[in-house]
Amino acid sequence: MKERLWTKSFVMLMVGNLFVFMSFQMLIPTLPPYIKSIGASGLEIGLVTGLFAFGAVIIRPFIGYMLEYKHRKSLVLIGAVILLAITILYPLSRIVMIFLLIRFVHGLAWGWSTTVNGTAAVDVIPFSRLGEGMGYFGLSTTIGYIIAPSLGIFLYNVTTFTNLIVISSLLGFISVVLLALVRYQTPEAVIKTKKENLKFSYLGSLVEKTSWYPSLITIIICLGYGSVSTFIVIFGEERGMDQIFLFYILNAIIASAARPFAGKWFDEKGPVAIVYFCICATFVGLWVLSYAQTNFMLAIAGGLFGLGFGCALPTLQSWTLSITPTNRRGVANGMFFSSIDLGIGLSGVIFGLLAQFVDTASLFRIGSLFLIAAIILTVIEVRKKRVTPKESSV
């Protein structure tokens, strides 16, 4: 008999995490055009993504360390409240440098919240259903990544930036309420651990050496995806496509439909084959997007991204956590989310610089090269270990 997955706490945590991501991700595609409108250069536009990623990455080792000895509830609620408070600050400045400073601090809060939320989810999911459970929990992440930008773009086009922030803040407030209702399960090994018995190492809390490889692949995939998250609104304006939200909606629909099957595939067969599939789908999606001239082609590209990138992240996260010792899951989860933020953040800076020399469509094609690199590295890793794809998940 299968262990129970759909507990009240799991559902509340998943929905609360959805609103955290909705509140944050609706700002991702709208901040670059907004900061451009107040006089930012191409590099500064890239820094909108890069600085938040840098903030998220540098704080996660400290959060991973705290997750080795602290209870989950206080950490989850502190992260959600800080995210809400910082979101409210955005309309207070039309000065580029101050805006970028706020973005960096927002990254610190984002690194905190995503690390503790993901770790809390692992704690309430039965280990025998980890792939399936994280697949469903990952829907809250993916839908936030995908639907929220559509909402943000719509609001950015029809109302003021201040009103956009008000709605983002409202979603953040809902997340605080929902996360406060969860009954968290802190592992016994964590409860028994005392802070004074732990020796903090920044590198040791930044990287979990038993599961670093899936996170490396995550960085590379996100380097390719970051070109889209930073420049898709600007790309739509250049090509006269006024329904960019279709990209995100199709992305969300396909990812939501495919995610449960991907989770079961992971539990039964391991991660490698599905990682190959997801990378290939994302690669094709980048090229379709780069040639898009109509909203229909934009929607097709979105569907491919949902099938590829939308399923790749939870698969890679489950892979990371499945090979990590229980007491180090906080560190591993922080490493995984840092991989996402580092990949997307570096991508924003890299493609922000390249945008001064090539058109936006070419940025997407250049981004596809990172997907090829991810496939090559995965092939090398599997052959090096000389194991079957299923064995590599153990």
Q: Read off the pLDDT of residues 103-152 as tens digits, 9 standing for 90 and up.
A: 899 999 988 998 899 888 888 888 777 777 877 887 787 677 667 877 88
DSSP annotation of 343: H
Please give the tally of structural domains in the chain.
1
- Domain CATH code at residue 273: 1.20.1250.20
Closest CA to 137 of 120, 112, 113, 152: 120
Counting Cα atoms < 13 Å in the Cβ hemisphere of 292 gives 33
Helix 295-307 crosses helix 212-239 at what angle (to 10 degrees)? 170
Taking CA atoms, 293 is separated from 286, 289, 297, 364, in Å, by 14, 9, 7, 14
Residue 97's domain comprises 8-185+205-393
Closest CA to 337 of 45, 47, 58: 58
**Residue 106 domain flag:** yes
Q: What token pair was written down for 188?
A: 């016994």
**Residue 331 domain flag:** yes
Taking CA atoms, 57 is separated from 63, 145, 195, 337, in Å, by 10, 18, 22, 8
Mean pLDDT of the chain: 84
* pTM summary value: 0.70
Higher pLDDT: 371 or 337? It is 371
**Cα(73)–Cα(123) distance, rounded to whole angstroms?**
12
Higher pLDDT: 220 or 378? It is 220
**Residue 360 domain flag:** yes
**Residue 382 domain flag:** yes
Over 70: is that where the pLDDT of 64 sits? yes
**Residue 280 domain flag:** yes
Number of residues that this document lists for the chain: 394
Over 80: is that where the pLDDT of 227 sits? yes
- pLDDT bin (cut points 50, 70, 90) of residue 284 is very high
CA-based radius of gyration for the chain: 20
- Sign, CA dihedral 85-87-92-95, equals positive
Q: Residue 358, Cβ neighbours under 10 Å: how many?
A: 12
**Residue 2 domain flag:** no
Which secondary-structure segment (H or E) carries 245? Answer: helix 245-269
Higher pLDDT: 200 or 285? It is 285
pLDDT of residue 387: 47
**Cα(359)–Cα(238) distance, rounded to whole angstroms?**
10
Q: What token pair was written down for 309?
A: 């990138």
Top-confidence range, 31-45, 132-146, 320-334, 361-375: 361-375
**Residue 377 domain flag:** yes
Q: What token pair was written down for 357?
A: 């020399």
DSSP annotation of 291: T
- The pLDDT tens digits of the residues spanning 167-189 come to 999 999 999 999 999 988 888 87
Q: What is the mean pLDDT of residues 8-26?
A: 90
Lowest mean pLDDT among 35-44, 54-63, 277-286: 35-44
pLDDT of residue 386: 55
Taking CA atoms, 148 is separated from 31, 115, 261, 358, in Å, by 13, 20, 23, 29
pLDDT of residue 79: 93
pLDDT of residue 1: 61
Q: What is the mean pLDDT of residues 96-107?
A: 87
385 CB burial (10 A radius; 0-12, 13-18, 19+): exposed
**Residue 191 domain flag:** no
Helix 212-239 crosses helix 309-322 at what angle (to 10 degrees)? 160
pLDDT of residue 263: 74
- pLDDT bin (cut points 50, 70, 90) of residue 385 is low
Over 50: is that where the pLDDT of 390 sits? no
251 CB burial (10 A radius; 0-12, 13-18, 19+): buried
pLDDT of residue 347: 85
Over 60: is that where the pLDDT of 394 sits? no
Q: What token pair was written down for 61?
A: 């080792």
